[in-house]
Structure 1
Amino acid sequence: VAAGADLTERLLRAVGGNVTALHAALGDAACRALPADGPPTQVAALTLDLLGPAVLQDSNVSEAMKDADLRPPSRWGTDEARAFVAALGFPETFAQSQSRRLDAELWVSGPLPLPPLHPEYQVEVFDALTGLIAMGSGRRRAVVSLPTGGGKTRIAVEAAVELVLKPEGARRTVLWVAQTNELCEQAVQSFRQVWQNLGAQGETLRVIRFWGRHGNPTASAGTAPTVVVASIQTLNSRFDAPALAWLATPGLVVVDECHHAITPSYTSLLRWLDAEAPRPGAPPKDEPAVIGLSATPFRMDDEESLRLAKRFDQRQYPLDQEGLTDRLLAGGFLACPDYQALATDATVSPGLLNDLDNLWDSQDGGRFDGVLERVNQELATNDARNERLIETLQASDARQILFFTNSVPHAQEMAARLCLLGIPAAAVSGDTPATARRWFLDRFKSGELRVLCNHSVLTTGFDAPRTDLVLIARQVKSPVSYMQMVGRGLRGQRNGGTETCTILTVLDNLGRFREHPFHYCRSLYTRR
Structure 2
Amino acid sequence: MYQLRPYQQQAVDAAVAHFKKSRKPAVVVLPTGAGKSLVIAELGRKARGRVLVLAHVKELVEQNHQKFESYRLKAGIFSAGLARKESEHKITFGSIQSVACNLDAFNEPISLLIIDECHRISLNEESSYPLVINHFKKLNPQLCVLGLTATPFRLGMGWIYNYHYHGMVRTLAPRPFYRCIYELPLRYMLQHGYLTPPMLDDTPLIHYQFSELSCAEGFFKEKELNQCLQTQKRITPLIMEQLLEKASDRRAVMIFAATVKHAREILGFLPANQSALILGETAEHERDQLIQRFKQQQLKFLVNVAVLTTGFDAPHVDLIAILRPTESISLYHQIIGRGLRLSEGKKDCLIVDYAGNRYDLHQPEVGELRPPGNTEPVQVLCPACGFANTFWGRLTEDGTIIEHFGRKCQGFLDDDEGEIELCDYRFRFKECRECGAENDIAARQCHQCQATLVDADKQLKEALKSQDTLVIRCCGMSFSAEQEKLTIHYHDEDGAELSESFRLDSPQDRREFQQGFLRFHWRSPGNEPEFHSCSQIMALQSMFRAPDFVIARMQKKRRIICDKLFDYQGRYRRAYELS
> Which TM bucket (shorter chain)?
0.5 to 0.7
How far apart in 1 are the matches of 2:281 and 2:311? Answer: 17
Deviation sequence 1:487-526 (CA, Å, 0-9, x none): 1112246xx79442121100x4447349812666975898
Q: State whether residues 141 and 289 of structure 1, in contact with CA within 8 Å, keep that contact through their aligned partners in structure 2.
A: yes
How far apart in 1 are the matches of 2:37 and 2:346? Answer: 19
Q: State whether residues 415 and 427 of structure 1, in contact with CA within 8 Å, keep that contact through their aligned partners in structure 2.
A: yes
Provide closer, same or farther for how the CA distance between residues 418 and 230 of structure 1 changes in structure 2, counting only shifts above 3 A: same
Q: Which residue of 1 aligns with 2:559?
A: none
How far apart in 1 are the matches of 2:114 and 2:133? Answer: 12
How far apart in 1 are the matches of 2:412 and 2:361? Answer: 21
How far apart in 2 are the matches of 1:514 and 1:329? Answer: 11
Which residue identity is paired with 2:54?
Answer: W
**Aligned match for 1:243, one of 92, 101, 104:** 104
| TM-score (norm. length: structure 2) | 0.54
Deviation sequence 1:146-170 (CA, Å, 0-9, x none): 111111233123322x123xx6xxx
Provide closer, same or farther for how the CA distance between residues 133 and 346 of structure 1 changes in structure 2, counting only shifts above 3 A: closer
- Please state if 1:199 is matched with 2:64: no
Pairs within 5 Å for 1:210-229: 210=80, 217=85, 219-220=87-88, 224-229=89-94
Q: Which residue of 2 aligns with 1:74?
A: none
Deviation sequence 1:42-83 (CA, Å, 0-9, x none): xxxxxxxxxxxxxxxxxxxxxxxxxxxxxxxxxxxxxxxxxx
Q: Which residue of 2 aligns with 1:13?
A: none
Which residue identity is paired with 1:193?
Answer: K
Q: Which residue of 2 aligns with 1:28?
A: none
How far apart in 2 are the matches of 1:524 and 1:434? Answer: 45
- Please state if 1:440 is matched with 2:290: yes
How far apart in 2 are the matches of 1:186 and 1:211? Answer: 11
Q: Which residue of 2 aligns with 1:344?
A: 206
SS of match in other structure, 1:517: coil
Q: Cα distance, 1:306 vs. partner?
A: 1.9
Q: Which residue of 2 aligns with 1:271?
A: 134
Q: Which residue of 1 aligns with 2:235?
A: 384
Q: Which residue of 2 aligns with 1:145?
A: 29
Q: Cα distance, 1:371 vs. partner?
A: 5.0
Pairs within 5 Å for 1:95-494: 114-119=1-6, 121-133=7-19, 139-160=23-44, 162-164=45-47, 171-178=49-56, 181=57, 184-195=58-69, 197-200=70-73, 204-210=74-80, 217=85, 219-220=87-88, 224-231=89-96, 238=101, 243-246=104-107, 249-264=109-124, 265=127, 266-274=129-137, 286-299=141-154, 305-307=170-172, 311-318=176-183, 321=184, 324-341=185-202, 342-344=204-206, 346=208, 356=213, 359-360=214-215, 363=217, 368-370=220-222, 372-375=224-227, 378=230, 382-396=233-247, 397-420=249-272, 424-492=274-342
Pairs within 5 Å for 1:494-509: 498-506=346-354, 508-509=355-356
How far apart in 2 are the matches of 1:347 and 1:500? Answer: 28
SS of match in other structure, 2:271: helix
Provide closer, same or farther for how the CA distance between residues 510 and 372 of structure 1 changes in structure 2, counting only shifts above 3 A: farther
Q: State whether residues 12 and 39 of structure 2, in contact with CA within 8 Å, keep that contact through their aligned partners in structure 1.
A: yes
Q: Cα distance, 1:309 vs. partner?
A: 8.9
How far apart in 2 are the matches of 1:411 and 1:257? Answer: 25
Q: Which residue of 2 aligns with 1:282?
A: none
Q: State whether residues 37 and 63 of structure 2, in contact with CA within 8 Å, keep that contact through their aligned partners in structure 1.
A: no
Matched-pair identity in %:
25
Provide closer, same or farther for how the CA distance between residues 176 and 452 of structure 1 changes in structure 2, counting only shifts above 3 A: same
Deviation sequence 1:200-257 (CA, Å, 0-9, x none): 3xxx422111579x89x5752xxx32414123x5655x3xx6724526x322212222
Task: Provide structure 2 residue ranges, at least 5 long, that are not aligned to the other structure.
Answer: 161-169, 368-388, 391-409, 419-579
Which residue identity is paired with 2:3?
Answer: P
Q: State whether residues 478 and 511 of structure 1, in contact with CA within 8 Å, keep that contact through their aligned partners in structure 2.
A: no
Q: State whether residues 467 and 501 of structure 1, in contact with CA within 8 Å, keep that contact through their aligned partners in structure 2.
A: yes
Task: Provide structure 1 residue ranges, at least 5 long, that are not aligned to the other structure.
Answer: 1-113, 277-284
Q: Which residue of 2 aligns with 1:64?
A: none
How far apart in 1 are the matches of 2:61 and 2:413? Answer: 28
More helix by share: 1
Q: Cα distance, 1:389 vs. partner?
A: 1.8
Q: Which residue of 1 aligns with 2:443?
A: none
More strand by share: 2
Q: Cα distance, 1:299 vs. partner?
A: 4.8
Deviation sequence 1:246-303 (CA, Å, 0-9, x none): 26x3222122222343521344444333379xxxxxxxx7332111112221356778
Provide closer, same or farther for how the CA distance between residues 444 and 467 of structure 1 changes in structure 2, counting only shifts above 3 A: same
How far apart in 1 are the matches of 2:207 and 2:55? Answer: 43
Q: Cα distance, 1:340 vs. partner?
A: 0.9
The CA RMSD measured in Å over matched residues stands at 3.7
Larger Rg: 2
How far apart in 1 are the matches of 2:122 and 2:284? Answer: 29
How far apart in 2 are the matches of 1:141 and 1:497? Answer: 41
How far apart in 2 are the matches of 1:228 and 1:398? Answer: 36
Provide closer, same or farther for how the CA distance between residues 525 and 253 of structure 1 changes in structure 2, counting only shifts above 3 A: farther
SS of match in other structure, 1:159: helix
Q: State whether residues 294 and 300 of structure 2, in contact with CA within 8 Å, keep that contact through their aligned partners in structure 1.
A: yes
SS of match in other structure, 1:306: coil
Which residue identity is paired with 1:454?
Answer: N
| TM-score (norm. length: structure 1) | 0.59
SS of match in other structure, 2:332: helix
Which residue identity is paired with 1:504?
Answer: V
Deviation sequence 1:380-401 (CA, Å, 0-9, x none): x824323322332234322211
Which residue identity is paired with 1:312?
Answer: F
